[in-house]
Amino acid sequence: MSRPVTLFTGQWADLPLEELAEKVSEWGFDGPELACWGDHFEVDKALEDDGYVQSRWDILNKYDLICVAISNHLVGQAVSDVLIDERHKSILPPRIWGDGTAQGVQQRAAEEMKNTARAARKFGVDIVNGFTGSPVWHKLYFFPPTSSEEIDRGFQEFAAQWKPIMDVFSEENVKFGLEVHPTEIAYDIYTTQRTLEAIDQHPNFGFNFDPSHLVHQFIDPVAFLEEFADRIFHVHVKDVSVQSSNGRRSILSSHLDFGDPRRGWNFVSPGRGDVQWDPIIRSLNQIGYDGPLSIEWEDAAMSREHGAQEALQFVRQRDFAPSGVAFDAAFASKE
């Protein structure tokens, strides 16, 4: 049995859920992974109004769609970022931004993430994907000189912020899937190990696996799956094209907009980049992952409606169930 294929709605939040649900159904997706922005899934309304949750299901049921996860990347980012600025204002609801002071934004964002777990349970799903932000990302290059003690304090700060959030996730029996990603507390294998240590291996803290963010850092996605097999709560299907071979392009992307050909890498439609999907599918089978393959579609050079449909067909063709028998079993004597 193949895994359900869903569409993450974060890049489609300009469309009302009703309009997008109709498209998702017509294209042949099994359902959406609802973003907690636009009108797709609003945490405050879900907790304040019983009719709101039913209204989301009424739309999904109308088009015979499933939903197994919601995602709150934008608010999660503000929990642990220490450099809160106009970029955050542009992605946060006004009630979370408030007066824009860093401590206030962080505190309101943390409460919203707790409420996201409560809203997910009320909605009937047990996975929330998202970002955490990071107290140490801005210290990535270690200059001006940065001590190990400073980084230790950053991970301790992250833990102090997220442990209370994860306790609510535990109370609600909901899992949080961090999308390991540059600018987050965990962005590669070693920082992911350190993040789990900092949060005391909290059983409800795991990962929304997205290989595109690993490949442009030259990290093997299969190695990540093998290392954190029991923590893969959800999977995003997104691709990336690495273009740094001409001696001019930088992996740091030179402060250039996404899609600019001078960048060292760009996100592209699944199947058109450098992610090797066959070994990933085989590894997902090996670790027993049977959840959704959720297409997070991003390609600055392609129509998103064309891209979403192309990506769906690509995933349907590439996914396969594990074998239930040994390949050479037919050679064995019945005796």
Going residue by residue through the chain (335 aa), what tens digit of pLDDT does each one get? 589 999 999 999 999 999 999 999 999 999 999 999 999 999 999 999 989 999 999 999 999 999 999 999 999 999 999 999 999 999 999 999 999 999 999 999 999 999 999 999 999 999 999 999 999 999 999 999 999 999 999 999 999 999 999 999 999 999 999 999 999 999 999 999 999 999 999 999 999 999 999 999 999 999 999 999 999 999 999 999 998 767 889 989 999 999 999 999 999 999 999 999 999 999 999 999 999 999 999 999 999 999 999 999 999 999 998 877 665 655 565 65
What's residue 309's pLDDT? 98
Paired tokens of 231? 């923590």
- pLDDT score of 84: 98
Helix (H, G, I), strand (E, B) or coil at 268: strand
CA–CA dist 84, 96 (Å, integer): 12
Distance CA 146, CA 213 (A): 25
Taking the CA atoms of residue 7, residue 10, residue 16 and residue 21 in that order, the dihedral angle to the nearest 10 degrees is 10
What pLDDT, on a 0 to 100 scale, did the predictor assign at position 39? Answer: 96
Contact status, residue 116 vs residue 176, Cβ threshold 8 Å: no
Examine residue 145 and say whether the peptide bond preceding it is cis (omega within 30 degrees of 0): no
pTM: predicted TM-score of the whole model, two decimal places = 0.95
pLDDT the model gives residue 50: 86
In this predicted structure, what is the pLDDT of residue 334? 62
Is residue 224 within 8 Å of 199, Cβ to Cβ? no
177 neighbors 206 (Cβ within 8 angstroms): yes
Q: Where are the alpha helices (DSSP H) in 98-199?
A: 102-123, 148-171, 189-198
Amino acid (one-letter) located at 321: A
Q: Could you confirm whether domain 5-324 is CATH 2.60.40.10? A: no
User: What's the gap between Cα 113 and its chain centre?
Assistant: 15
Please give the pLDDT value at position 324. Answer: 73
Please give the pLDDT value at position 327.
56
- Residue 120's alpha-carbon distances to 256, 273, 328, in angstroms, are 36, 33, 45
pLDDT at 94: 97
Distance CA 18, CA 62 (A): 9
Query: What is the reported pLDDT for 163?
Result: 98
9 in Cβ contact with 32 (< 8 Å): yes
Residues contacting residue 191 through CB under 8 Å, at least 6 positions apart: 185
Residue-level pLDDT at 329: 58
* Centroid of chain to Cα 155: 21
> Is there a contact between 154 and 104 (Cβ–Cβ < 8 Å)?
no
109 Cβ contact partners less than 8 Å away, ≥ 6 residues apart:
75, 76, 77, 78, 79, 92, 96
Compute the distance between CA of residue 164 and CA of residue 283 in angstroms, rounded to an integer.
33
Looking at residue 78, its pLDDT comes to: 98
CB within 8 Å of 131: residues ≥ 6 apart: 73, 74, 76, 77, 178, 179, 181, 183, 184
Instruction: Write down the residue that tokens 């199947």 correspond to.
Output: 271
